[in-house]
Structure 1
Amino acid sequence: MNRTTLFILLTLVLAGCGSAGDRFKIEGRLLNMDQGEFYVYSPEGGINGIDTIRLQGGRMSYEVMCTAPTTLVMVFPNFSEQPIFAEPGKSVKIEGDASHLKEMKVKGTKTNELMNDFREQIATANPPQVLERAEQFIGDHPESVVSNYLLRRYFISGATPDYAKALQLCRTMRKAQPKNALLAHYEQQLKQLSRVTVGKRLPRFSTVDVDNKKIDNATLGKGLAVIMAYATWSYDAQRMLQDMRMLAKSSKGKLKIIGFCVDPNRNQCRAIAKRDSIPWPVICDGKMLESPTLHSLSLFDIPDNILVNNGVVIAKGLTNDELKQRIERML
């Protein structure tokens, strides 16, 4: 199942470091795109939530407080992403063409240029080769923050997450970065994610829905249940929502559903759920695919799903047709 990485409405981004010692500034130019806006976020919490970058006249400038090295991630219109590695007191320049986003360059620091080199290595590689080269890069550079990003991007949040491999690589990186709190978090998270497998009980989770009602394992009750991740901008996700609505209605209460909406605005998500009369709990924390609860349940794709029966995971990551057929056979 292909991962439609994140969300995002339009455009490209650029961030960077300014001349001040506690700022990071990005300046750049994007050819073949005059104006637009896009989101930028930090998986490490380097910025608060999701920020918006505006492109005007094909140029952009973005400055952010930066007191420690961190990673910023820009999401393109085609849902691919570009990491930018921020450092206090530094600045970078981005050179790109909206019609050839894979060729974008981020210049100004050695770390970003190291990422440029990796992107060149995988420019024409097939998916298995990309994973192979990402693993090799991490092995060659376990001390680099670029490796931290590659670990998450290709082995944790990729189209086909490999948690066993990710845990192995993470432990290697922790030896080179013993004080890195993010890697320590990843290691604990990966231990948990490895339990979200078919034939085992669903890990315990607890959160609140858009109406601030508590949602946890007990919400699923006994019998057949679906946990699904979706977004209002994804056609495949909307199709899955429609099919689940019909199945829930025909099941007469036998099928329980919990929905995780990865839209960036919680209030808008609540309004849409009310407008569409979604009959099950909807969870949206505004953190999109970086939601801790989503990660704890190993939900990284859009759409994605876990099929549970009496608290035991019986399937995960099914296509819409596969999920529909599996449920119909069991109801």
Structure 2
Amino acid sequence: MGPVSEPIRPARRGRLARSAAAFAVLLGLASYVAVHQMTGSKGTPRCSVGSGENRYEFTPEQASNAATISAVGTTRGLPERAVTIALATALQESALRNIEHGDRDSLGLFQQRPSMGWGTPAQIMDPVYSAGKFYEGLEKVRGYSRLPLTVAAQKVQKSGFPQAYAKHEPDATLLAAALTGRAPAALTCTANETEGRPGDPELVRTELVRAFGEKAAPRAVTGGPSAGRSAAEPPVLVVPVRAAEGAEAARDADGADGADGADERRGWELAQWAVARADALRITEVVYGGRVWRAGEAAGGWSVSPGAAAGSAETVRIRLAR
């Protein structure tokens, strides 16, 4: 017969194993909570949508990422509901910040994991790519537009906390209405018009095409040294307004009034994308639909401009810092 202590060793090992497993679960939960606390809005919000109690305030960084998520969705011909689901998911997973950390190997706006086949770390850290991968998964969910938002998001994300998406639906709905163009002049931002580097027309063109496709490529760039004029004259990009392929049908389902309604909505989508990305791309003025947004305006909103009305229905004019 062996020592008395021998028979109790397996039980002790079992307790140790259970304790280690419980500790791992608690560590994972603590990591998840810490990430979502750290990814809250930082700095003073300078962008907003909505009004009164039905209002969401957020930073230019968050606005830029939200605009990219929306643009990728509508360019795929998806309805506003898909954009709302994507924005609510990113609000929960990263607070709309493109973060380089998370639970285990999770990264980016949607906290996608390279080890789970979402892509390489570099790909996942590209907001256009990561948004596209989210929509790719969402499109495989049958009837996602009729499902509760938490259910639709969870079928893509496989999160350990699926009900958390629900609390972001009101804010995501406001953002989606503005960024898809259904709510004209709804997105307001303030930006510093004087500090920082000059705007780069080629960078703005690249970002427009990456988000919206070649049809959003500017028709012309006026002003600036690249146009053979004085460098003191700020560059202005003239962006055509036309519904993307597949977008008109999707927007008719959202309530757009035929081709004219789809084009007007597209114009406001492009215009408010430019406002949302103003800080990142050094945009100082956006003109569309007889209204103008200027970076230097204290309220950061849209104003009626008689000089902006002529010919502005078919193009969005984006002025850059010089």
Higher helix fraction (1 or 2): 2
Rg larger for: 2
Q: TM-score, normalised by structure 2?
A: 0.28
Higher strand fraction (1 or 2): 1
Q: TM-score, normalised by structure 1?
A: 0.28
